Structure 1
Amino acid sequence: MSERVKETAKEELERVKHLAEEAARSGTYLYPLRGIAYFLSHKSLWKPLTSKLASTVGLGAGITTFMFFFTYLPQAAVLALVNGPLAAISAALLVLSESSTIFTALSKSFLIEEALVDTFDGVLVSKNMTTLVSQDRQLKSGSDPVARLGKLMSKPFAKFTPTAIIRYFMYLPLNFIPVVGTVMFVLLQGQKFGPHGHERYFTLKKMNARQREDWVNERKAAYTRLI
């Protein structure tokens, strides 16, 4: 049994290593920087998110502070048993990942859902992809891409479910593996959460569950690198 466990762990490590290499080659780590640059250079896109900026920053700072104050030391102490002096770094990465998960769930559910959709659609309109956007919302005339956005015809994001949180805690034991386990944990989280950022795109393209799954599987490494 022990040999089988070792072999399985080795195979999983190789799989994650291959995934990380593919992710690095994909170049998607540049997308956040390109997105920020595009956003800053197009003031017409600022309105949806700036209206929620204070509450969103406050929520993120509050969650991160709370998690570090109450969970960092206990997790660092547990990880110290297996990670030794590297436990401080592993615990910090773990707390940041936990904070990100909680923040994403709460902010999308209660604060910025509409703002994210308006920004996403606004970018598409600014890129003259009005035919795509008009499939799911009314468009007005004008030059301001955000001001042109009318009423939505469908719900843009799936409602929050506990499935993601349950899956998150299922992967937590990976952090007991020094360094490599934490890296595997973060990569696997990216693989699961990355596609959620494209929910709106899937809706506009009218993809069914099977089509979405195929799309994500073909770009698994790229989505993982976006975490």
Structure 2
Amino acid sequence: MSEKVKEVAMEEYEQARILTRDAVRSGAYLYPIKGITYFFTHQNLWKPLGEKFLPTISLGVGVTIFMFAVAYVPQAAVLTIFNGPLAIVTTVLLVLSESSTIFSVLSKNFLIDDALIDTFDGTLLSRNLTSLVSTERQIKSGSDPIAKLGKIIQKPFARFTPAAIIRYFMYLPLNFIPVVGTILFVVLQGRKFGPTAHARYFQLKQMSKTEKNDFVEKRKAAYTSFGVPAVVLEMVPLVGIFFAFTNTVGAALWAADMEQKETTAPNLRNQAELAKKAE
């Protein structure tokens, strides 16, 4: 029995080691940071956020106040059993996390869904990927990537997923475990966040469900490494709305780099074949 436990533990360790190695090699964890930098240095991408800023911030303040009024005391009582005096701090963090999640779901589905799509598409246009964006929407002439965005041809993927909300509350008890539990909670959330951030990319590529699943499976470590810092950024109360836009920019930059690698690789192969024929 002990040998079997050791065998399983070694298998899990090896899988975790391989995933960690692949995640580091992918460099995907850098894209949320790249998104912040790119967003700041490209003011023409600010318009979608500016149009939704006031109503979204008002929603965030309202949700946060409501959650502290309703959920803080009962959760503090439970966490005191597990964390003792630290419960004051851990409960604040937990309520902020819950507020951020509820706020994110409401805002992304009822306030900023279209704005995030415009930000994603606008970022792709700024990277000269007009042909990709034009598969799903009309493109106008001009130099401003946001102003060039025309009517969306096909209705975008729905962002609201009840399973994601159920999964969030299933993972929530992990926060009762100091430090380690919170880290596991963020990693599990990040694992699902990564592919969701590329939902628009999959649509623009006109991937079927099977193609999308295969694409994500081959890059699951990279998507998790993107999702973890992105989730942490969006968990910041109120300011999380800003990071929702920068994460969208980061996801679009990653998609643009994927597209460039996809087109560059065949060209390199063709050049190599031509060189061989010339010899």
Q: TM-score, normalised by structure 1?
A: 0.83
Partner of 1:123: 123
Judge which range, 92-101 or 74-83, deviates more.
92-101
Residues 29 and 227, structure 2, Cα contact 8 Å, conserved in 1: no
Q: Distance in 2 between matches of 1:27 and 1:133?
A: 24
Note if contact 1:97-1:186 (Cα within 8 Å) is conserved in structure 2: no
Letter in 1 for 2:55: S
SS at 2:190 equivalent: helix
Q: 1:158 to 1:64 in 2, by over 3 A?
A: same
| Deviation digits for residues 42-95 of structure 1 (CA, Å, limit 9, x no counterpart) | 121121210111111121222223223322232122112112233334323322
Q: CA deviation at 1:170?
A: 1.6
Q: Indicate the structure (1 or 2) with the bigger Cα radius of gyration.
A: 2
1:126-181 superposed Cα distances (whole Å, 9 cap, x missing partner): 11100000000011111111111111111223152422211222222222323312
Q: In the alignment, is residue 219 of structure 1 matched against residue 211 of structure 2?
A: no
2:28 & 2:67 partners in 1: Cα distance?
Answer: 29
Q: Deviations over 1:29-50 (max 9, x none)?
A: 4433321221122121121210
Match of 1:144? 144
Larger deviation, residues 123-132 vs 66-75: 66-75
What secondary structure, in the 3-state scheme, does the structure 2 residue paired with 1:146 have?
A: coil
> Which residue does 1:194 correspond to in 2?
194
List aligned pairs for 1:10-159, cutoff 5 A: 27-159=27-159
Moved more, 40-49 or 158-167: 158-167
Q: Cα distance 1:92–1:17, how it changes in 2: closer, same or farther (>3 A)?
A: farther
Percentage of identical aligned residues: 58
| Residue pair 2:31, 2:226 contacting (<8 A) in 1 also | no
1:112 positional shift: 0.7
Structure 2 partner of 1:185: 185
Structure 2 residue runs of 5 or longer lacking an equivalent are 232-279
Which shows bigger deviation, 177-186 or 211-220? 211-220
SS in 2 for 1:151: strand
The alignment covers a number of residue pairs equal to 221
Instruction: Decide which moves more: 214-223 or 93-102.
Output: 214-223
How far apart are the structure 2 equivalents of 1:39 and 1:132?
A: 21
The one of the two structures with greater contact order (alpha-carbon pairs below 8 A, sep at least 6) is 2
Shift of 1:14: 6.0
The answer on whether the counterparts of 2:30 and 2:226 sit within 8 Å (CA) in structure 1 is no
Distance 2:14 2:97 in 1: 21
Instruction: Please give the TM-score of this superposition, normalised by the length of structure 2.
Output: 0.69
Unaligned runs of 5+ in 1: none
Asked if the contact 2:108/2:159 (under 8 Å) is kept, the reply is no
Letter in 2 for 1:196: T
Report how far residue 192 of structure 1 moved: 1.9
Distance 1:54 1:21, change over 3 A: farther
Tell whether the 8 Å contact from 1:39 to 1:46 is kept in structure 2 after alignment.
yes
In structure 1, distance between residues paired with 2:27 and 2:42: 23
Note the C-alpha offset of 1:208: 1.9
Q: Please state whether the residue corresponding to 2:198 is helix, strand or coil.
A: helix
RMSD, aligned α-carbons: 2.9
* 4+ aligned runs moved over 4 Å, structure 1: 13-29
